[in-house]
Amino acid sequence: MAVKVSRTAGFCMGVRRAMERTLAERRDVEGTLYTLGPLIHNPQVLEILKKNGVVPVGTDEVRCGSTVIVRAHGVAPEALEALKEKGALVINATCPKVGRIQGMAKKASGEGKAVIIVGDRDHAEVKGILGHARGAGLCVSSLEEAVALRLDRPAILLAQTTFNEEEYEAIAAAMVRRFPGIEVLHTVCDATSRRQEEARRMAADCDAMVVVGGKNSANTMRLARIIASLGKPVFAVEDETELPPEAGRFRRVGVTAGASTPNWLIHRVAERLTEMQATGVAGLLWKTLAFLVRSNLLTGLSALGLALLSLVWQGFAPAFALLSVPPLYLFAVHVLNSFSEARAQEINEPAQRLFMQRHRRWLMPLAWAALALACAIAFLASPWVGLLTLSATVLGLLYQVRLPVARLSLAAIPGSKDLFTAGAWAVFIGWVPALTAMRELSQRSLLVSGVVFAMMMVRALAHDMKDLQGDRMVGKETLPIYLGQGASRALGALLIAVAAGLGAWAVAGGRFAAAGPLVLVLPLHALLYLWLFQSRRVTGGIAFSAVVDGCCPVLAALALFI
């Protein structure tokens, strides 16, 4: 059984640019923000935008003083002029590649040439390009229409950016035969070409294909038609709820998506397919793993594994207080954090959100009980450790509270959650054992906390990059949103290098009491799960969390036998 996700699926550059511009304007503009027509062809995204005060309108509905965003498809010049005449503030988010074609059409029409655009005549992009041709444009949608076309002057041939490249080549060849002087310009977007070509390759390797995207998205439906023409079963769905039962009966299923489909919808569909494929023993194992991940019990087990490794590396004998305080506290913190992120979970991990709602009656009391128990055991072990645990608890409770001095909450600081969470892991895994057993910090405890802090920051960055598009839509200020994806990847690489360097220094100098080489597995593991995510072998959900958090319990078990 396997679910393979296309590497080229999801937002194209133009759609991503339009979304980012719209969300940036949403933060800066008070009141309703308007888009001239639907921003993108995806109903789920449009519904979320509407809830956040981003509303599609027609030119006639625009009022003076309104802020209006021109979508990635672009519009005719007359529409832009009408908006300006009405006194609207226009934000032009037209895809640069579409803008380039508009410029070609304008230039050709100015030279007295006919502009032939190959595409869907009812598509917004085609209408906009025809508008820039200023009456000199014609649209053809098929080879038959191209063959029947008559021209009485020089012409250029253009393609809608998301048109089927093979069809365009066939139409272009026919046009050149009929009109030898016609100028053929290759304007199918390279991202579209790559997406279509990968869909063909995946269809050849898979037993069935799933195409994710809006039913009104031309490029999404074109992908489905391309796959169907190859004789492979194809299921076109808008989200995971539309997957038919038969989709789970195929052994190898490929998942691709249109240019307006966000990553969070793609990985939701991929995870649902994996669940549908898992039957019998595999199904039982999957349900068990899903329960461990969604309840945050796997996170607690990861904390327990790291706590045991910390004791081994620092040379402490296993003791109840040393092994219980870190996992109890960290499990409680992650459960409470999950309940506080309802809006983001609704988009990124709706199954997780549903699980938290269904099991709130026992999960919430369990988290508070674990927190209280961690504080009690910590005070019994050492007053200083007790104060440290209590202080961390109070800081966590104040995280969302607006501080009167600073006039903002800690949560409003970009990336603060990642820093505080990684800091909590570092303190409870590295410091608490040393303060409990020796009443002081040692070089070993500082080394352990340094490695753990770096690894937990990489873990947080991985989760944030996975949820980047969904977090943007609810206004979260994570590090990848604040720094950008490139800088976040560089930061992740730096943190992995720091952890590897600290680990290598500890191992080379014999600074860890036992099982020292296992520390080097942690940065290697981080590289592994980042590669799995970037290559879309693991896209999110249960599989992603299991890969990220499943290493430490395994390493701890190995440490017991070394």
Q: Are 107 and 127 in contact (CB under 8 A)?
A: no
3-state secondary structure of 226: helix
With vertex at residue 157, the alpha carbon angle to CA 154 and CA 162, rounded to the nearest 5 degrees, is 165
Q: Which residues pair with 56 in a beta bridge?
A: 35
3-state secondary structure of 536: coil
The strand pair at 89-92 and 67-70 is best described as parallel
Question: Where do we find the tokens 């980047």?
Answer: 468
- Measured in residues, the chain has a length of 562
- Sheet with 234-237, edge to edge strand ranges: 2-5, 252-257, 208-212, 234-237
The C-alpha atoms of residue 399 and residue 334 are separated, in whole angstroms, by 14
Alpha helices in 315-359 (DSSP H): 320-340, 342-348, 350-358
Amino acid at 363: L
**Non-local CB neighbours of 544 within 8 Å, separated by 6+ positions:** 267, 466, 529, 533, 538
125 is catalytic: yes
Distances (CA, A) of 498 to 19, 276, 306: 35, 41, 18
The gap from C-alpha 99 to its chain's centroid, in whole angstroms, comes to 27
The strand pair at 183-184 and 155-159 is best described as parallel
Residue 33, H or E segment:
strand 33-36
The C-alpha atoms of residue 494 and residue 188 are separated, in whole angstroms, by 38
The C-alpha atoms of residue 376 and residue 25 are separated, in whole angstroms, by 48
* Conformation bin of residue 540: beta by default, left when phi > 0, alpha when psi is -120 to 50: left
Query: What is the tally of helices (H) and strands (E) in the chain?
Result: 26, 12
The C-alpha atoms of residue 300 and residue 422 are separated, in whole angstroms, by 14
Give the other-Cβ count within 10 Å of 149's Cβ.
17
Give the other-Cβ count within 10 Å of 58's Cβ.
10
Amino acid at 304: L
Distances (CA, A) of 27 to 24, 65, 189, 199: 5, 17, 30, 37
The C-alpha atoms of residue 413 and residue 396 are separated, in whole angstroms, by 14
Q: Which residues pair with 212 in a beta bridge?
A: 237, 257
Out of 20, 81, 111, 125, pick the active-site residue. Answer: 125
Give the other-Cβ count within 10 Å of 225's Cβ.
13
Q: Are 204 and 230 in contact (CB under 8 A)?
A: yes
Residues marked active site are found at 125
